[in-house]
Structure formats: structure tokens, C-alpha cells
Amino acid sequence: MDIKSAEFIISNTDVNKCPQGNLPEYAFIGRSNVGKSSLINMLTERKGLAITSATPGKTLLINHFLINKSWYLVDLPGYGYAKRGQKGKEQIKRIIESYIMQRPQMTNLFVLVDSRHEPQRIDMDFITWLGEHGIPFSIVFTKADKLTNSKLNSNVQAYLKQLQEFWEELPPYFITSSETRKGREEILQYIESINKELNQN
């Protein structure tokens, strides 16, 4: 799929103030610093579209980007950033949960996990919570450029194995790098196939 246009529309903390209408939305979630905003820039090939930072906790709002005037990419704040303190963490959690639970336009949630690390409790708990609420999601392994292919593959397999302990069927998954653009075509194709399906209904 070609990205012909990508426009920032609105940032906010209130799910009720998100754009009106029923265009499908694809949202990005995961721990702080995992690479959500970078992935949005990589997918759209617009470097400064979503604001990124080497320090965690950059994205604090729900950010809507309109793509090809027909669907949205949504950049969400990261979860689990300890330095923010209990109150800050709870506030972020509320924003994330309200978006996920109260946004029928949300078509697929991409859950990002860092391909360098072993499965983390916080991600597993979050994925379990998604399952309990019937939220459609897929997994995105990020920062694949930071490790060798063999380590990458063994980490991905370890992750999938852990998921299989809780899930009969594995969710779709993607291996990506915002540096090398690995995984870009696969994710865009996946989004396109869902958009096509929605248009047929």
C-alpha cells in the first residue's frame, strides 16, 4: 500500500474528544520507549510525524494521524514507566484503557515488545487483559536491527512459546525495525487487508 498522505489531526487525553466518524483506527501500544512513535514514522515514511525520544515517557496523549484520508494510525502513551510515579502511571493507564475500551473504531491494536528482551510480565499481563476483553490485537517485535538474526529468531520463538501457554491460537505477529524498515510492507499489507474486508461489509 502506498502512503499518499499522513496528517496529524489531534492529541488529547479524553477519548470523547477523539475524531468523530467511523474511519477504522490502528493503534500502537507497549512499554514506554519500545518504539511506538518511531514505528508510526517508519510506516508513514515521515520522520517527524510522531514525536520520538531516547528518554521514555515521551508520548502522553492519544494522537490521531489520518492516513490516505481514509483510516487512522493512533499513537498511545507507553505503559509501565516507573519514574513517572504512581499517580502519573494511573493517569496514563486510565487514558490507555478508556481509549481501548470505549473506541469502537479501534480495529486492531498493535502491541509492541522489544525483541531484545525475554517476555516481560507487564506485557503478558496486558495481553491477558486484552484477551479478557476480546480486544483484537497483534504483536510487533521492535528494534530487530539491534541483535543478530539468530538471537532475534530465538527471542521471537521464546516469546511465542510463552504466549502459547495462555493462547490456543497465536495472534498475528510482525518483526520490525524502524531503522532498516523491516516489517513495513507486512504491517501495511495487514492493515490494507483489514480495510478491504471492512469496506466489503
Provide the binding-site residues for ligand GTP, judged by CB under 6 A: 32-38, 52-54, 56-59, 77-78, 142-143, 145-146, 177-179
Shortest reach from residue 36's CB to Mg ion, in Å: 5
Rule CB under 5 A: choose which of 33, 44, 59, 178 binds Mg ion.
59
Q: What is the Cα Rg of the chain in Å?
A: 16
71 DSSP β-pair partners: 67
For residue 85, give the amino acid letter. Answer: G
145, interface contact from ligand GTP, Mg ion, none, CB < 5-8 Å by kind = ligand GTP
Residue 130 amino acid letter: L
Which region among 34-42, 63-71, 144-152, 156-164 touches Mg ion (by CB under 5 A)? 34-42
Q: Which of 15, 25, 28, 37 forms a contact with Mg ion (CB under 5 A)?
A: 37
Query: What's phi and psi for 111, nearest 5 deg?
Result: -95, 115
Among ligand GTP, Mg ion, none, partner that 44 touches (CB below 5 to 8 angstroms by kind) = none
Looking at the Cβ atoms of 106 and 184, the one nearer to ligand GTP is: 184
Using alpha carbons, list the distances in angstroms from residue 9 to 12, 103, 131.
Answer: 10, 17, 30
